[in-house]
Structure 1
Amino acid sequence: MTVTGIVKVALVTGAGSGIGRACALRLAEHGYRVVLAGRREAALAAVADEARALGGEALAAPCDVTDAASVAALFETIRARYGRLDVLFNNAGRNGSPVDIDELDIDEWRLVVDTNLTGVFLCTRAAFGLMKTQNPRGGRIINNGSISAHAPRPNSIAYTATKHAITGLTKAVSLDGRRYDIVCGQIDIGNAATEMAERMARGVPQANGEIAVEPLMDVQHVADAVLHMAQLPLSANVQFMTIMASKMPFVGRG
C-alpha cells in the first residue's frame, strides 16, 4: 500500500493476539508495513513471523501503552525506521473484575483506565505529532471502542466508562485533526471470536440476571472492516462503525 509512491506504515497496539493480531495480519497482507506493539515480546515475534509468511513486512515493538516513556520510545523507533506513520489502530485494552462498583479495587480501576483510555491518549498524542509534521502530512487514527461504548454489560463499570470516554476522544481528535489532514474514526466490535470472547460461548451474565450463551462472529470480519477504514483516502472517513455478531444481545432489549 502506497501514498504518492511511499509505502504506508500502520501501527497496531495489542497486536499479539485476538483482534489486534487479525487486523495486523490483514494490513500486512495488503501491503502495509506493520508495527506490532504490545507487552508480550514472544507473541509479537510470532505474529511478525506470520506476517512475513504472508509476504508482508512487520516489526515487533514491545511497548507498555500505559507508560509515557515506553510510548515515546515506540514512536521514536517508528520515526527512525520509517520516517512516518499512516495508520494507528488503538486496540490494546483490558477488562476489570466482574464485581459491583463498591467491590472494585481502586488500583484495578486505575489499571483499566490507564490501559483503555490513557494508553489511547498517549499513542494518539504521539501519532498526531508525527502525522502533522511528516511529508506528505496527515494520517488515520482508528480507535477500538467496543459495544460497551454504547451499552454496558453487568458489572463492567471500569471497562464501560473507559469505552464511553473513547467516543469523546474520537470526536475531539477528528475535529482537531482537520487542519492537519488527520482523520479519526471508531470501530465498535461485538462478540468477535477471540480468546477474550471464549466466555461468551460458555454463557455470560445478562441484564435480566440470567446466564446465556451469546453468538460469536469470525474475527476476520473485524479485520476486513479495519482494512476498509484504513484504505480510505484522507478525504473520507468512517466516523463510527459497529460490527457485531448479528444475534448478540444489543439491539432492542436482548
Structure 2
Amino acid sequence: MGLERFSLESRVALVTGASRGIGEAIAVAMADAGASVVALARSEEDLEATVERIEADGGDAIACTADVTESAHVEAAFDRAEEAFGSVDVLVNNAGTNPYFGAAEDLDIDTWEHIMNVNATGAFRCAREFARRIDERDGNGSLVNVASVGGVVGLSHQVPYTASKHALVGMTRTLAIEWAPDIRVNALAPGYVKTAFTKGVRENESIHEDLLDEIPQDRFADPEEIAGAAVYLASDAASYATGEVHVVDGGYAAH
C-alpha cells in the first residue's frame, strides 16, 4: 500500500475547535495531507492564526466562527464550507471544554450541563448535520470524534469531563453501526497533551510528576503527535476502520 492512501487530496475537512492546541494541529495536518480546511471555533482572532499557518505552507483554508452549542451556527458553518470548497468529506469534532476539577459532590448542575452541551451534544449537532448532507449526495465520509483517554478510563475529580467523553465514545460506536457504509465513524482518544487544557497540571510540579509516573513514555504529547492519528482515521488508509477508539496516550491506559 502506497503513501497515497494517506492523502486527503480533493477532500474538504471541517475541524471544530481549530483555533489552538490539538484542533489547530489537526487542521494544519489535514491541510498538509491535501485537504481544503474549514477551521471552526468561537474566536475569529485565534482562527486567523490557524488559517495563516495553513496558507503559509501553500494550503487552502477558511476561518469560520461558530458555537457548536447552537444548531443554527452549525448549519451556517456547513453552508459556508460548501460555498467555499464544496461538500464536507471529513468532520473532526474537536471542540471541547473542561472548566471543572474537584469533588463530584461539589459540582453544580449548570457546570455539568455546560460541559455535556459542548463536549457531547455539540459534537452530535455537528455529526447530525454532516450525516444529513452526506446522505443528500450519497457520498462517503469520515467522522473523527476527538474524545480523550478520559473516555476509556476514569479520571479522578473530572466527573463531568469523563462522562462527556465516555458519551462521545458511545456515540461513536453507535453511529458507526447506524451510518455504515456511507460514513466511517471513529474516535481519537488523546492522553495528556501540551495544550492550554493541561497548563495548570504541567505547572503544578507535584501533580505533573505523579502523572508522568503513570505514563510509560514519561512525557506529555505534542499536539502534532495526535494530529497524525486524525489524518490516518480520515484517510483511505483507514478505509476498513469504523467504530474504533484510537488511543494515543503514551501508554497511560495500558495499566
Fold shared by both chains (TM-score > 0.5): yes
Aligned to 2:215: none
Deviates more, 1:169-178 or 1:191-200: 191-200
1:229 matched to 2:227? The reply is no
Select 1:151's aligned residue among 129, 150, 153. 153
Aligned to 1:67: 70
How far did 1:117 drift? Answer: 0.6
Deviates more, 1:95-104 or 1:167-176: 95-104
Unaligned 5+ segments in structure 2 are: 213-218
How far did 1:133 drift? Answer: 1.8
Tell me, in whole angstroms, the C-alpha distance in 1 between the residues paired with 2:90 and 2:17: 15
When residues 237 and 204 of structure 1 are mapped into structure 2, their CA distance, relative to the original with a 3 A threshold, is farther
SS of the equivalent of 1:241 reads strand
Aligned to 1:244: 249
Aligned to 1:183: 184
Aligned to 1:193: 194
Q: How does 1:129-144 map to 2 (within 5 A)?
A: 129-134=132-137, 137-144=139-146
Unaligned 5+ segments in structure 1 are: none
Aligned to 1:36: 39
Aligned to 1:12: 15
When residues 90 and 161 of structure 1 are mapped into structure 2, their CA distance, relative to the original with a 3 A threshold, is same
Deviations 1:82-134 (A, max 9, x none): 33111101001011311212211211111101100110010000001111222
Deviations 1:132-181 (A, max 9, x none): 2226x1200000110001112221111011111111100111011115x1
TM-score where L is the length of structure 2: 0.88
Deviations 1:202-242 (A, max 9, x none): 34887xxx972532122211111111111126742252211
1:112 matched to 2:115? The reply is yes
> Contact 1:140–1:183 at 8 Å: present in 2 too?
yes
When residues 131 and 204 of structure 1 are mapped into structure 2, their CA distance, relative to the original with a 3 A threshold, is farther
SS of the equivalent of 1:96 reads coil
SS of the equivalent of 2:97 reads coil
Aligned to 1:165: 167
SS of the equivalent of 1:193 reads coil
Tell me, in whole angstroms, the C-alpha distance in 1 between the residues paired with 2:205 and 2:9: 46
> Contact 1:12–1:37 at 8 Å: present in 2 too?
yes
Tell me, in whole angstroms, the C-alpha distance in 2 between the residues paired with 1:168 and 1:143: 11
**How many residues are treated as equivalent by the alignment?**
243
When residues 205 and 37 of structure 1 are mapped into structure 2, their CA distance, relative to the original with a 3 A threshold, is farther
> Contact 2:9–2:35 at 8 Å: present in 1 too?
no
Deviations 1:46-66 (A, max 9, x none): 110110001100110001001
How far did 1:80 drift? Answer: 2.7
* Letter matched to residue 228 of structure 1: Y
SS of the equivalent of 2:136 reads coil
> Contact 2:98–2:197 at 8 Å: present in 1 too?
no
* Letter matched to residue 220 of structure 1: E
Tell me, in whole angstroms, the C-alpha distance in 2 between the residues paired with 1:142 and 1:218: 19
Identity across the alignment (%)? 30
* Structure with greater strand share of residues: 1
* Letter matched to residue 249 of structure 2: M
> Contact 2:192–2:249 at 8 Å: present in 1 too?
yes
* Structure with greater helix share of residues: 2
